[in-house]
Amino acid sequence: MDVYEPAEDSELIKKHIKDFARGIVLDMGTGSGILAKEALKYAKTVYAADINPDAKRVEGVKFIESDLFSNIPKIKFDLILFNAPYLPNDEGIEDPALYGGKEGHETIFRFFSQAKEFLKADGKILLVFSSFTKQDKIDEFLTKNNWKFEEVDKVHISFEDIILYSVSLG
User: Which residues sit at the interface with ligand SAM, rule CB under 6 A?
Assistant: 4, 6, 10, 29-32, 34-35, 49-52, 55, 66-68, 83, 85, 96-97, 107
How crowded is residue 168: how many other Cβ atoms within 10 Å of its Cβ?
A: 15
Compute the least distance from the CB of residue 144 to ligand SAM, in Å: 22
Beta strands in 43-93 (DSSP E): 45-50, 62-65, 77-83
11 vs 148 by CB, closer to ligand SAM: 11
Compute the least distance from the CB of residue 32 to ligand SAM, in Å: 6
Compute the least distance from the CB of residue 113 to ligand SAM, in Å: 12
Task: Point out the residue whose Cβ comes nearest to ligand SAM.
Answer: 29
Beta bridge partners of 157: 160
Compute the least distance from the CB of residue 132 to ligand SAM, in Å: 13
35 vs 46 by CB, closer to ligand SAM: 35
Q: Shortest CA distance to 14 belongs to which of 42, 44, 34, 29?
A: 34
Query: Rounded CA gap, 132 and 117, in Å?
Result: 28
State CA 89 to chain mean position distance: 18
24 vs 162 by CB, closer to ligand SAM: 162
Give the CA-trace dihedral at 100, 11, 61, 52, to 10 degrees. 30
15 vs 148 by CB, closer to ligand SAM: 15
